[in-house]
Chain A
Amino acid sequence: MSLSLFKQRQNQRTQKLVKELIIHETGVAENSNNYKIAHDFIISNITRHTYLDTDSHKVRRHCQGILEKIRVHSQIEKAERLEKLISSYLGKNPSEMQYSIISLLCLLSRNPLESDILSISPISLHLDEFASKTGQADIEFNEEELKQLYDGWGEFGNESSEESYDELNDELDDVEAEEKSIEKENEENRDKTQSYLINYDAPMPEEFDEEMSEPLPEPVAYERSWVDPCSLSKDFYESLVEREKKESGENCVLNWNYETVSERLIIDEILLMLFGVNTSLFHCDQNGFRLVKRIQVVHLTPSCLMNFLEFFVELGTLLSRIDYFSEKLKTDDCMTYQYFADGCKEFLYQTRSELVSIKEEFVVQAGDVTRESISRIPYNTITLISLKHRLYPILDLCKLILSIFYKAVLNLPSLQGETQAKTEFSLSYKASYLLSYLYILIQENHEITDHQGMCLVVNLFIKSVQPYIKFFCIWMSTGSLNNVSQEFMVYQKSKKVMGNFEAWNNAFDINMQEIDGRYVRCVPDFLKEIHVEILTAGKNMMIIKQIEEILLDKLLEPYIGLLKDLESKVTNNLYEKTAHCLSKVPKVAQYNIKTVSWRPKSSQFYEIGSESPENLFSIYESQPPPHIFSPITCNLPSYEISISEKEIFPLRPINHWISFHDVIKSSFIDTAHLIYEESAKNLLDLLKEHFDLDKHLEVLRGVLLMENGECMYPFVKFLNKKADNQEPFDNAYEITSMFGECLKEIKWKGAQNIFSCEIEGDKKPPSSLEVFTHLRLNFIPHPTLDIIFDPDTLQCYNKLFHRLLQIKRAAHCAKNLKWRIKNNPKIEKIQKRFLICQKELIHFTCCFEEYVMQNIINSCIGKFKNIWKEIKTIDEMREAHASFLTKILDRCLLLPKAAPINDAVSAIFGLCIKFNYLVHRMSGLDTELESYDDEISECYRILNDIQESFKSAVNVLVKILSRYAQRGVNYQYLGAYYSMNFNRYYLDD
């Protein structure tokens, strides 16, 4: 029977994998007999078996059984880790194959109680992701610190235990059998200690001991004594004593180094240690707390005692470290760090409250019951086991806080003297890094089931973000950075700025930090999608405030209700949306107004906003109501107003698994968007209503782009006349007054005050095309409108104005053929040639003028007006205006890339002027002159030159444009080609 191709490939792959498995597991050679046997065995087993397919429910039950077993043996951390790993592997929709693999691992499992846990914590996984997201490599500090940590703890754990092993071995040299058992147990303990060390993820800086207030005791030679008792059972001790007695023949007493203490004493000491106090059992040194006595408890096995004490010592150490680092951060320059430290302190406070409560219960349990403390009798007896279970969640939270310290705070060089010189991180970078880290941690943790950890991080985030909210609100509502720390993402680039245009472009920008040779924006991760809008909204507010305070000399009513009390709104929203994560809800102050009138007991509650009560209510004596039966006036008391604070209860129903991104979105992103849109709209309205922006634009187009052409017609005519008469352009008064007369034609009277005409630069001869280049029209709008009419923009307008004057001048010269034909056969002979040449020049100039005025300017203005109506922000307005001007400049051949075409056009315009002067020269010739014939010949020669030059220039121009059209490049010149080569006038292609 033939197999399908898929089946064949599957078989081949299985064969290959089986081969790899045999070689890898047994190491036998492929050509050996053993290999063949193994191969046949495996193939026959996996192809012809009688097992049922994997049952997902069965696999789940099996896993639950294993987890239960591990939990029963108090290996809670291992059980939780395994549970998390399995759930993360299976995901939301596990396939049958995934269950098969889990089933395989369960079947191969051999006593999971003896296994070690690896050091892959969820936090480290998040950190890797965070580093990859922020584009930063993990900093070397961590590895070094971790190395130090491992070394430090290695000394703490391993050496001490080795010493004690040596002691033990010295004592027990003679007993070989027992020694073997001791060594075996020691090895097990060593393994356990090491596994414990690897799990720990919190290095200790060297300066820790400097800050510890209490003097440290002398180090005790024996440490971690709970490691040793496990190898010394009572029977074994008695056998040693027996042996000694036999050998010495005297009463022998072997010193017993382990002090028997009660569990009550240990719990008492543990509670004190957790408060950070040195006790007779636990002392604190640079590596944290440690046990300084060899102790044993009657009813607990040594390994059990070891297990408990390790836990409590670790917890005590972590708490003291959090306390130490929080104190240190409180003095940092970065306010976000200070608030983060406050959050950590709050956690410590809550933990200590819990410890105080335990202590009270413990005291009551011991029999010290008073009337007040009777209610504190614990439901469960406090023992080492119950205490461990009760405090176990706190250990995880401590580890979480310390991991945040190390990864998001201490890896920055501000607290490391050595690396500070190498790289200086800005305050802004530090703040944004910490906030981004916390945000990403929350985002990642949301998908995991660690609700308690997430609540802690949310609390820390909300606490740390408080200064940032303040800066954000100041920037968004005033557009300035007064009272804003440098840690905000926006910074003042330049303090000396002239006018709105420079302020808009150069005053503020986003903070940047150089990391490994590239610049990173110092923007917290949750604001990255909106940072441009935040910057622009602030700039909008800056301009609005300037207009209000300086130009209008009055403050306008805030146009966005949100701006009235922005900070409290953002904060309250954040608290409300994360209420399910916080143990307390901010109190809300309310007015309780009791009316005393017809309904004396009725009362009304009002929430207090930012305004004072006086502004909200007008308090007055109530008038007595008219009585319908007796007109007796009665004096009713006035309204009673009391202000009370009460918590909002019950909490609004919020989905427990609400995405944190949505919380941030409603608090920051939506707010920023709203302010951005509203401020932009308000600014545009201000510019249009108070400063006649639209009219300014219209007038500017009318004058400099000669839109409609009515007002500028007399001025252009005047200029051409002066040039025809070869009068120099040096009389500024004459030109200015003529220009002023033209402006009077404009309906909007404000136009006369915003234009001026001046003559600048070297004067060109009237016969040249550049005769008008030193004529400059200045547009001087209200300073506020600088933001739209910046110098670059106005330069573009002037450039276009000069091009239009050139076209008008050329057209005027081409049309200006006025001479009287005298009865001279020689002139009659060349008259025809003149007329032909004039027709050609007129054709070209008219085509070009039509193209520029209609196809370019008129069409672009129409489109620009349509875009202008839709514009919503200043940036859009500036962009649309700039693109409008660039488009016209490009099509008028005024950009550098159109230089060859522009040269040809300018040459033709020059020929028009030359032609005009030639006609003047011809018409002025005196027939009586002797040199008349020579003059005629000279004019004829010049005419020929003009014609030749015109032909070649037109030829070049049209050919270039034709080539563009054929190749499909520079489509913007297609209109110029069709306009000039209309009806294939010049080129038949």
Chain B
Amino acid sequence: MSEYNEAKETLEILHEISQILNTGLDKSTLSILVSLCENGVNPEALAAVVKELKREAAALKAGSGKS
């Protein structure tokens, strides 16, 4: 239970940091990204991927909105 609380607390801290840095990440995305980093994924590669995904998702949304 204490480990769970610790993890929750850490995630809270990271979420607040991400909000101050204005990353635009919500908690669930953040937890996925943290897990990927913990799994050994390079943060720079991951950041590039996330930016690209967000861009594409926005484009998709805009495309569907127009149609």
Please report A residues at the B interface, Cβ cutoff 8 Å.
10, 13-14, 17-18, 20-22, 24-28, 34, 38, 41-42, 45-46, 49, 51, 53-54, 66, 78, 81-82, 85-86, 88-89, 97, 100-112, 114-118, 120
Contacts and interface: CB of A to CB of B under 8 A. Distances in A.
The 8 closest A-B pairs by CB, nearest first: A107-B47, A109-B21, A115-B22, A104-B43, A108-B23, A51-B44, A49-B45, A26-B57
28 contacts: A10-B40, A13-B35, A21-B32, A21-B33, A21-B50, A21-B53, A24-B28, A25-B50, A25-B57, A26-B57, A41-B49, A42-B53, A45-B45, A45-B48, A46-B36, A49-B42, A53-B42, A54-B43, A78-B20, A89-B14, A105-B23, A108-B25, A110-B23, A110-B24, A115-B19, A115-B20, A115-B21, A117-B19
Given A46-B46, A51-B45, A103-B44, A20 B32 contact: yes
A470 to B, nearest CB: 40
B13 interface: yes
B7 interface: no
Contacts of A89: 10, 13-14, 17
A544 B37 CA distance: 68
A49 B42 CA distance: 8
Contacts of B36: 14, 17-18, 21, 46
Given A82-B21, A86-B17, A115-B20, 10 more contacts: A14-B36, A17-B39, A25-B29, A41-B49, A51-B45, A85-B13, A104-B43, A106-B21, A108-B23, A108-B51
Nearest to A49: B45
A120 B16 contact: yes
Nearest to B38: A97
Given A25-B29, A25-B54, A97-B37, A42 B49 contact: yes
A444 B45 CA distance: 38
A412 to B, nearest CB: 28
Given A14-B36, A38-B56, A105 B14 contact: yes
A21 B29 contact: yes
A111 B24 CA distance: 11
B39 A10 contact: yes
Contacts of B46: 46, 104
B37 to A, nearest CB: 5
A981 B35 CA distance: 73
A761 B62 CA distance: 104
A27 B57 CA distance: 8
Given A20-B32, A107-B47, A41 B17 contact: no
A118 B19 contact: yes
A109 to B, nearest CB: 4
Contacts of A110: 22-24
Contacts of A109: 21-23
A26 B53 contact: yes
A97 B35 CA distance: 10
Nearest to A20: B32
Contact of B35 (A17, A26, A46, A118): A17
A30 to B, nearest CB: 15
Nearest to A54: B43
Nearest to B50: A108
A465 to B, nearest CB: 31
Contacts of A42: 49, 53
Most A C-beta atoms less than 10 A away, residue of B10, B28, B49: B49
B32 A108 contact: no
Nearest to A23: B32
Contacts of B51: 108
Nearest to B36: A17
B65 to A, nearest CB: 13
A86 B10 CA distance: 11
B4 to A, nearest CB: 15
Contacts of B16: 81, 85, 118, 120
A101 B14 contact: yes
A826 to B, nearest CB: 87
Given A10-B40, A46-B45, A85 B20 contact: yes
B49 A107 contact: no
Q: Considering residues A26, A82, A108, A117, which has the most beta carbons from chain B within 10 angstroms of its beta carbon? A: A108
Given A14-B36, A21-B33, A41-B52, A117 B60 contact: no
Contacts of A103: 43-44
A46 B49 contact: yes
A455 to B, nearest CB: 26
Nearest to A14: B39
Given A24-B32, A49-B44, A100-B43, A105 B21 contact: yes
Contacts of B39: 10, 13-14, 17
A86 B45 CA distance: 22
Contacts of A101: 14, 33-34, 37, 43
Contact of A100 (B12, B21, B25, B37): B37
A111 B22 contact: yes
A105 to B, nearest CB: 5
B53 to A, nearest CB: 5
A54 B47 CA distance: 13
Contacts of A104: 33, 37, 43, 46-47
Nearest to A21: B32
B64 to A, nearest CB: 10
A17, A24, A27, A103: residue with the most chain B Cβ atoms closer than 10 Å: A17
Given A25-B29, A105-B18, A108-B23, A14 B41 contact: yes
A22 B54 CA distance: 10
Contact of B49 (A27, A45, A66, A97): A45
Given A17-B32, A85-B20, A107 B13 contact: no
A110 B45 CA distance: 17
A504 to B, nearest CB: 42
B44 to A, nearest CB: 4
Nearest to B47: A107
B17 A85 contact: yes
Contacts of B25: 108
A107 B25 CA distance: 12
A60 B20 CA distance: 17
A107 B57 contact: no
Nearest to A34: B60
Nearest to B25: A108
A115 B17 CA distance: 10
Nearest to B41: A46
Nearest to B15: A118
Contacts of A112: 20-22
A24 B23 contact: no
Contacts of A54: 42-43
A576 B1 CA distance: 42
Contacts of B52: 41
**Most chain A C-beta atoms within 10 Å of own C-beta, residue among B12, B21, B41, B42:** B21
A196 to B, nearest CB: 15
Contacts of A21: 29, 32-33, 36, 50, 53
Contacts of A111: 22
A519 B16 CA distance: 38
A334 to B, nearest CB: 34
Contact of B42 (A24, A51, A105, A106): A51
Contacts of B43: 54, 100-101, 103-104, 107
A117 B49 contact: no
Contacts of A53: 42
Contacts of A118: 16, 19
Contacts of A46: 36, 41-42, 45-46, 49
A873 B38 CA distance: 57
A74 to B, nearest CB: 15
A105 B34 CA distance: 10
A105 B47 CA distance: 8
A88 B45 contact: no
Contacts of A116: 19
A108 B20 contact: no
Given A26-B53, A34-B60, A120-B12, A66 B21 contact: yes
A49 B46 CA distance: 10
A21 B49 CA distance: 10
